[in-house]
Structure 1
Amino acid sequence: MKREAILNAAELVLCEHGTQALTLSAVADRAGVSKGGLLYHFPGKEALVQGLVHRVIEEFDTLVAAHDDGLPGSYSRAFVEATFEILTGSEGARTRRRWAGITAAAADPELVAPLREAMVRWHRRDPGEDADPVTAMVVRLAAEGLWEVVGQNPGIFDPGRYEALRERLLSLLRS
């Protein structure tokens, strides 16, 4: 789908060259579409950045929902599982997506607003859902911090370390 190819191209431009290089022409060239084709899907740079941010939110929400079995404490477990699926899965582009969207949106409060709203939703859960709400919050924040570290240095951990971290966070939720 052209829209996804354009978003992928925007991520790559951002990751390889930084926010200054994010121009509609650069993204269109990278995506192999005309500038008019890009504008059909994203009428401007702001719409393109909004597309990046919304895609990150939607993908994470979808993964959390897929792992959430509705049992007590399942949201926090699902949050951890979704995080590790993104960070260690075969599609490493998901990690880039988050950083590309955040980086591009960070300077504009309107563009970053949907991400801020999602963060509130992700981290302000009903405390009654978890046996220990404070531990659940600490675990979700630790998973969030892992995103930050891996976003800066994707090769920092090997698969064994990821698995050990995942298991430890999940074990904290079982305590």
Structure 2
Amino acid sequence: MRKDELLDAAEELLCDQGSAALTLAAVADRAGVSKGGLLYHYGSKEALIKGMVERLIDDFDELVSTQPGQTYTERYLGATLAAVRSGRLRRWAVVTGASGNLFLLAPLREAMARWHREELGEEPDPRASQIVRLACEGLWDVASHDPELNSEDDLQELESRMKALLKPRPS
């Protein structure tokens, strides 16, 4: 069994039944493997949760890398909007909510620091880029709790306005 299949089973369990239902036995059962098979890859519930957090980070990094844009912030904005539009946010909400432990969220804190510092000094207007990245975080957070809040027209308008902030100002 691949690690991704175990992580998928854990995420599905979280989405369907909440963090109280996340036990190694329940994940193994959902994945169709023995508990020993699960423990071979993830020696504890904490290791499993950390694996889910790390995979979410990797997924977002991949999404950023595939977005069009000349600057990191343009790609970050595109990735955020793609995540909002696709409904990927529920995974983030349930996984990070299940951790309940600062140690388990350490990879996410490190990724956030990297995402908000990445190439910032290389941006045409670093402060505008910082504002857009922070706005993306707010959009992400609100959309994870209320995915129906913004229509596609709303998202297009938000995207247009944030991209306008990123345009270099005349000297």
Same fold (TM over 0.5): yes
Secondary structure, counterpart of 1:111 in structure 2:
coil
Say if 1:68 and 1:75, in contact at 8 Å, map to a contact too. Answer: no
Aligned to 1:164: 157
The 1:168–1:23 alpha-carbon spacing in structure 2 relative to 1, beyond 3 Å, is same
- The answer to whether residue 143 in structure 2 is matched with residue 146 in structure 1 is no
Aligned to 1:15: 15
Query: d(CA) in 2 for partners of 1:30 and 1:159?
Result: 35
Equivalent of residue 102 in structure 1, options 88, 91, 96: 96
The 1:31–1:155 alpha-carbon spacing in structure 2 relative to 1, beyond 3 Å, is farther
Secondary structure, counterpart of 2:66 in structure 1:
helix
- The answer to whether residue 104 in structure 2 is matched with residue 111 in structure 1 is yes
Q: CA deviation at 1:170?
A: 1.6
Stretches of structure 1 that go unaligned for 5 or more consecutive residues are none
Query: d(CA) in 2 for partners of 1:120 and 1:68?
Result: 22
Look up the equivalent residue of 1:108 and give its one-letter code: N
CA RMSD, 1 decimal: 2.0
Query: d(CA) in 2 for partners of 1:29 and 1:152?
Result: 29
> Which sits farther off after the overlay, 121-130 or 74-83?
121-130
Aligned to 1:65: 65
Stretches of structure 2 that go unaligned for 5 or more consecutive residues are none
Query: d(CA) in 2 for partners of 1:2 and 1:76?
Result: 33
Query: d(CA) in 1 for partners of 2:150 and 2:9?
Result: 26
Say if 2:72 and 2:119, in contact at 8 Å, map to a contact too. Answer: no
Runs of 4+ in 1 over 3 A off after TM superposition: none
Q: CA deviation at 1:142?
A: 0.7
Q: CA deviation at 1:126?
A: 4.5
Say if 2:15 and 2:91, in contact at 8 Å, map to a contact too. Answer: no
| Number of residue pairs matched by the alignment | 168
TM value normalised by structure 1: 0.85
Secondary structure, counterpart of 2:148 in structure 1:
coil
TM value normalised by structure 2: 0.87
> Which sits farther off after the overlay, 76-85 or 123-132?
123-132
> Which sits farther off after the overlay, 133-142 or 147-156?
147-156
What are the Cα deviations for residues 9-44 of structure 1, in whole angstroms up to 9, with x where unaligned? Answer: 212222233222211122222223332222222121
